[in-house]
Amino acid sequence: HSQELALQAQKTQAAFLANMSHEIRTPMNGVLGTLDLLLDTELKPEQHQLASASKRSAASLLSLLNDILDISKVESGQMTLRRSPLEIADVLADVEAALAFDAQSKNIELRCPAEGLPESVYVGDSVRLRQILLNLVGNAIKFTDVGHVKVTCRELSRTGQVATLEFAVKDTGVGIAPEHQKNLFKRFTQVDSSSTRRAQGSGLGLAIVKELVELMGGQVRLHSEPGNGTEVVFSLKLGLPTLSDSTERDQFAP
């Protein structure tokens, strides 16, 4: 009985956080927007430096909030997936563009080719797929000092109007020790909890990846050896476009 009560309390808390998400994000976006405007004014170098530092802190606080709110949404059953035409090539190009700077600043090659897929358009939630890939690729870049990070994608099978796709994110980074691998996709765990650890963050990114992948009808697995890089492979189910999808797409075409 006490377990039921604890579960109920957790759900209530998760629902509260999920409902608060809008209220929490709004002032945070206000802070970021104001700092942007401030940075566009004439500032002394020292002032510019301070405003930039504030903006970086505000941005990382926002991403931390987003992680907590996403997990709350999943836990309270409020996370819903959108179904709309989705171009894998576009999603991969977005991910590559978003993380290109991080990769270049470490001299790592980042490759996200969209090759070998039988369809150019599937049906699913492009925002959530992008979120999964940004988390995994961003993580791979953080823990790779030399070499490359590569994303590949293939279609495994199809049944009726549903295709199962498999994505792999492979890096030549430091790798993960076997004893840490089992906790990697659990909530609030960070492989390296020391104060000097390389990756700052909520420790929720990979938990969110797991929840989103499972929500999309797939699963995630990891293969890694210390010193030999890491490969994270996840599958998910996407719809195949029907005639009505393609006509719908033409309506929205620019």
More confident residue, 76 or 189: 76
Is pLDDT of 35 > 70?
yes
pTM for this predicted structure? 0.75
Judge whether 140 and 176 are in contact, CB under 8 Å: no
Between CA 72 and CA 70 the distance in angstroms is: 5
Q: Which two tokens stand for residue 205?
A: 């990114």
CA distance 214 to 217: 5
- When pLDDT is cut at 50, 70 and 90, the band that residue 86 belongs to is very high
The closest alpha carbon to 36, from 48, 22, 25, 44, belongs to 48
Report residue 251's pLDDT band, with 50, 70 and 90 as the boundaries.
Answer: very low
**Residue among 122, 31, 13 nearest 76 (CA):** 13
How far apart, in whole angstroms, are the C-alpha atoms of residue 146 and residue 174? Answer: 9
Residue 217 has pLDDT above 80, yes or no: yes
Give the CA distances from residue 192 to residues 120, 132, 144, in Å, rounded to whole numbers and listed in that order: 39, 21, 15
Q: What is the per-residue pLDDT for 199?
A: 46
Percent above pLDDT 90 for the chain: 42
Q: What pLDDT, on the 0 to 100 scale, is given for residue 187?
A: 63
pLDDT level of residue 55 (50, 70, 90 thresholds): very high
Indicate whether 211 pLDDT > 60. Answer: yes
Distance CA 211, CA 68 (A): 13
Whole-number pLDDT of residue 164: 95
pLDDT of res. 157: 92
- For the cut 70, the answer to whether the pLDDT of residue 188 exceeds it is no
Region 53-70: what's the mean pLDDT? 84
Render the burial of 82-104: b for 16+ CB within 10 Å, e for the rest.
eeebbebeebbebbbeebeeebe
Mean pLDDT of 157-173: 93
How many Å apart are CA 166 and CA 181, to the nearest integer?
20
Averaged pLDDT for residues 226-252: 76
